[in-house]
Structure 1
Amino acid sequence: MTTRRIAALINPSARHGLGAGAAETALTALATHGLDVTEMIGRDAAHAQQLAHTAARSDHDAIVVIGGDGSVRMALEAARGTGMPIGLMPAGTGNDHARALGIPVDDPLAAAAIVGAAHERSIDLAQITLADGSTSVFGTVAATGLDALVTERANMMARPKGQLRYPIAAVAEIVKLKPFHYRITVDGVTIERDLVLASVGNTPSYGGGMQITPAAIVDDGSLDLTLVLSGSRLRLLTLFPTVYSGKHIHRPEVEQLRGRKIVLECEPSAPVYADGERVGMLPATIEILPGAVTFLVPRLENTDRG
């Protein structure tokens, strides 16, 4: 039996510097499945992206990302169109790609077993085009407005570690928030709304399990859009906890749409975050790329929900 060759993309800065320990654990777990693993460790973001592109065009059988959603996004950019499968050993803060695909986020042995089994699934990506013509792809959620500001603040926070950063950052941003006037075009139909946020989801969750677009499915050829209308700060503070369960969609200030091409414009302009990483500023056009990349996923598991 031929030994499968794996290119392991390692982000030692994942989990705010805890990624090196997580990588050692992940590599040990992968070794139990007899895989021939080549370690590719990024010194910084630019070097990591270069390594990802090299791996995607190599003779390895798969890329395995040992890191978080930002590292996965680099692999997506590199692997789309190449046919190179991507495996995940979650070692980040959010790990929302893994959640959407049914890959355990806290069990390296189970995640390694999925890589070893080599069961492939084609999933959609989304492409963002900014006003300057630059493009990038993402796999989970593109956040604009309040949720982008929350992500920006959380990314700058050294403490607390882990998921507690998100609710703390959310409260800090809600207290000072002013609404944005959005012009939104979904598959050619335009609406205008005063909103606090507009999120476009290819998967249900961001921020480590917050179900902002709970009905999103990774291979249905469409994007889900969640809008939160402007309202009092108190209403926003009570809405925020319901996002973890996806129950916010039943509230009157929340509107949901679905489409293949979504154009977002707003005044004042707002930042755009995708897969937890800053992409740029609105306006932006977001389009679905059906079946654009292949992942190694659990066999005989329902992986449509996060």
Structure 2
Amino acid sequence: MQVLFIVNEYAGNGKGKKAWSRIQQNLTIDYRVAFTQYKGHGEEIARQYTQSNNERWLVVVIGGDGTVHEVVSGAVYNERVIIGVVSAGSGNDFARNFRVFQQAKQIEEFLLIENSGTLMDVGRIQLGIAPTELFVNNAGIGFDAYVTKLTNTSRFKVYMNRIGLGKLSYAAFVVKGIFSFQRFDVTVRSNEEELYFKQAWFVAVSNQPYFGGGMKISPASNPNDGKIEVTIVYNISRIKLLLVFATVFFEKHTKFKEITFLQNEQFDITVHTDKMVCHTDGDYIGEIGQDMNIRCTVETAVWKRVNMDK
């Protein structure tokens, strides 16, 4: 089995570079390494290396959720590839639901002893007639995407990463965003069911439970059950929304009557306002226009992660 490390040295404001240095100095196996240079480069690297021959690959991602997203996008549908992760981002929601590599020794032991992968689902989201976007963890429409955009374009996140508190930057922008975000009406359809929600804050579509650096927004999500989950928060005051976010870390938000949870293989979502922001796996992907359709689906068992069950 060939081993490829895909390293985002800039993840977590330099955590990726430090993590790679720590792993590299303890490796005794043969390997290849490639460094991401720009947004989307992880996907290009994964595809370039793993599609060129019939070799089996262990691809180890060193970076955050965005880098994991890119590499999975490049290796999806390739049965010869198993993906492992060394978390080095600010949120690291992928690592909260899966075991990840911490040391070089674990990687080498996996190659010698386990050497197998577990098939995982991915979600897909399509904004209008745009190409579909893959998501590993979750996609969001509305407030969570708004906060994601604020967080990722702010110097405050860089500072928080520098002092080791990067995972709190999302929470800080939640507080800021609550007082500036404009709520919206939304229709959610699945199979024969159509539901209308007034004054919605966000619609989160989940493939696994966590988002925003540890918020367990969708406790029922399982990334290999052939389903995706939708969480709608609506008709709730700004102050009460703060309480929701304070309780989501402990799964107590499920008791709020203003939160609806849905599960299915496909959802169609229509936002009844203009220019609502969207994200996948913590990366802003654009805006949706008024009354345009957003289609969310699941693709079952299309990529492999290292078999290191918790």
TM-score (norm 2): 0.88
Q: Which runs of 5+ in 1 are unaligned?
A: none
> Pick from 254, 260, 268: which aligns with 2:259?
254
Partners of 1:103 and 1:297 within 8 A in 2: no
Q: Matched residues in 1 for 2:110 and 2:170: separation?
A: 30
Which amino acid in 2 is paired with 1:43? Q
Please state if 1:233 is matched with 2:238: yes
Q: Matched residues in 1 for 2:106 and 2:89: separation?
A: 14
Q: Matched residues in 2 for 1:113 and 1:231: separation?
A: 50
Partner residue of 1:108?
103
> Share of identical aligned residues, percent?
25
Partner residue of 1:197?
202
Partners of 1:187 and 1:260 within 8 A in 2: no
Q: Matched residues in 2 for 1:189 and 1:114: separation?
A: 49
Q: Output one character per residue of 1:40-80: Cα deviation in whole Å (capped at 9) or x when no partner.
A: 11221243332121123143522111111111111111111
Q: Matched residues in 2 for 1:73 and 1:24: separation?
A: 22
Equivalent residue runs for 1:2-17 within 5 Å = 4-17=1-14
Please state if 1:182 is matched with 2:192: no
User: Post-superposition shift, 1:188?
Assistant: 4.0
Partner of 1:36: helix, strand, or coil? coil
Partner of 2:304: helix, strand, or coil? strand
Please state if 1:55 is matched with 2:70: no
> Pick from 3, 9, 16: which aligns with 1:19?
16
In structure 2, the CA distance between the partners of 1:46 and 1:196, relative to structure 1 (3 Å rule), is closer
Partner of 2:254: helix, strand, or coil? helix
User: Post-superposition shift, 1:111?
Assistant: 5.6
Please state if 1:136 is matched with 2:133: yes
Which amino acid in 1 is paired with 2:47? H
Partner residue of 1:67?
63
> Pick from 214, 218, 226: which aligns with 1:221?
226
Which amino acid in 2 is paired with 1:65? V
> Pick from 173, 178, 190: which aligns with 2:177?
173
Partners of 1:89 and 1:111 within 8 A in 2: no
> Pick from 299, 302, 305: which aligns with 1:292?
302
Partners of 1:101 and 1:297 within 8 A in 2: no
> Pick from 74, 78, 89: which aligns with 1:78?
74
User: Post-superposition shift, 1:86?
Assistant: 0.8
Q: Output one character per residue of 1:282-306: Cα deviation in whole Å (capped at 9) or x when no partner.
A: 34211000101111031xx34xxxx
User: Post-superposition shift, 1:108?
Assistant: 3.4
In structure 2, the CA distance between the partners of 1:114 and 1:126, relative to structure 1 (3 Å rule), is farther
Which amino acid in 1 is paired with 2:278? V
Q: Which runs of 5+ in 2 are unaligned?
A: none
Partner of 1:45: helix, strand, or coil? coil
> Pick from 280, 283, 291: which aligns with 2:286?
280
Indicate the RMSD between aligned Cα atoms, in angstroms.
1.9
Which amino acid in 2 is paired with 1:85? I
> Pick from 211, 220, 223: which aligns with 2:216?
211
Which amino acid in 2 is paired with 1:15? G
Q: Which runs of 4+ in 1 moved over 4 A?
A: none
Partners of 2:58 and 2:83 within 8 A in 1: yes
Aligned residue-pair number: 292
Q: Output one character per residue of 1:154-179: Cα deviation in whole Å (capped at 9) or x when no partner.
A: 11222222111011100000012221
